Amino acid sequence: MLYVMANNAFKALNYSDPKLEAETFMMIWEGSLMYLLLNEPSNSFIIYENLLSKYVI
């Protein structure tokens, strides 16, 4: 679902390769979530919200 949303967002923004952009976003997203799960930082909610707001998803 998130991949579809990201792909649609990059299409709407007229990126030359929205699929590649969505895949790159998903790699960043999954890596960030893995970091949050493994390290349990005290500000994990802020990190999560910040990442979503950067991509307006």
pLDDT reported for residue 51 = 78
pLDDT reported for residue 54 = 79
Angle, in degrees to the nearest 10, between helices 44-55 and 18-39 = 170
Domain count for the chain: 1
Owning domain of residue 18: 2-55
| pLDDT less than 70: residues of the chain | 56-57
- For the chain, the maximum distance between any two Cα atoms, rounded to a whole number of angstroms, is 38
Give the separation between CA 37 and CA 43, rounded to whole angstroms: 12
Residue 23 corresponds to which tokens in the numbers above?
Answer: 């895949």
pLDDT reported for residue 2 = 87
pLDDT reported for residue 57 = 61
pLDDT reported for residue 15 = 96
